[in-house]
A and B are shown apart, each in its own frame.
Chain A
Amino acid sequence: MARKADYKRFEALGIQNLAVSANLTFSQQTFAESLKLPFPLLSDFPDRKVIRAYGVLNDKTMIANRSFFLIDPQGIIRKKWLIENGPTTVVYSDALLRDIEAILGKR
């Protein structure tokens, strides 16, 4: 929800938000409609190839550990944020945006 509320701030920096999860596209459609999300949700079900490739698959729950990756226009990962206690932690956009602005030289 924080990313929805702050979507324009990411957009202003030229950031395209993409959200990847191990849910079915059907459930993602409900989720996106319920929260009126302005960015795409991508389903990595059933293979979880992307989640594995990024090293964030929780082997017990088979869902992604909560994490964020900043990828530059050349396709290089510039920063990653791995969130401890992901399901119960609120990640405020300010924390991400501060780092992103510093990386982009806008701070």
Chain B
Amino acid sequence: MHAASDGLAPLLKALDLRGYPSGTRPPNFSGDTVDAHQVSLAALRGKVVLVNFWASWCVDCRPEMPALERLHREAGGHGLAVIGINARENAQTVRRYARELDLTFPLVLDPNGAINTLYGVVGVPTTFLIDRDGRAVSLAVGPRDWESRAARALIESLLGDPALRSRTP
């Protein structure tokens, strides 16, 4: 397992995340954000990528959003890319949600669900962590506390940078 070999297993366990066999590579995706920028996983190689599948009607997604936004603001400059992939809603709905929660990380539209299907997502929230080499690290089905000590330690470890240490609660 990738996680075990990197010593991440205790952190994955603490967050109840499923690890992937070493070398597992998530498929590339590309899509347009709500503000018309194109995002692709391939173009993010070299960064740690947190991909969060969500929807505006999803009660469990909402509390994750401010935490993801803070991670984006604090660690975005240290090599973390936080990407939200919406589930089959229109741009207006996504834009309103982003404004309401003051979200600035990229929110990719997936109107026909192609990216959701590509990743096998059948419920939201579902979150993937991908390392700097483009390997899948973990899968979370359901909500997690992305600002917890374990989550920050995990992301920091993948970044190889104590970007979040000073802010760890």
Contacts and interface: CB of A to CB of B under 8 A. Distances in A.
Contact of B18 (A23, A33, A35): A33
Contact of B123 (A24, A27, A34): A34
Interface in B104-129: 117-123, 126
26 contacts: A23-B120, A24-B27, A24-B120, A26-B24, A26-B25, A26-B26, A26-B27, A26-B119, A26-B120, A27-B117, A27-B118, A27-B119, A27-B120, A29-B20, A29-B139, A30-B120, A30-B122, A30-B141, A31-B122, A33-B18, A33-B139, A34-B120, A34-B121, A34-B122, A34-B126, A35-B122
B87 to A, nearest CB: 13
Interface string B18-44: 101000111100000000000000000
A29 B27 CA distance: 13
The 6 closest A-B pairs by CB, nearest first: A27-B120, A30-B120, A31-B120, A34-B141, A34-B122, A34-B123
A99 B139 CA distance: 38
Contacts of A33: 18, 139, 141
Q: Which of B24, B118, B120 has the most CB of A within 10 A?
A: B120
Given A29-B120, A31-B122, A34-B120, 4 more contacts: A27-B118, A30-B121, A30-B139, A35-B122
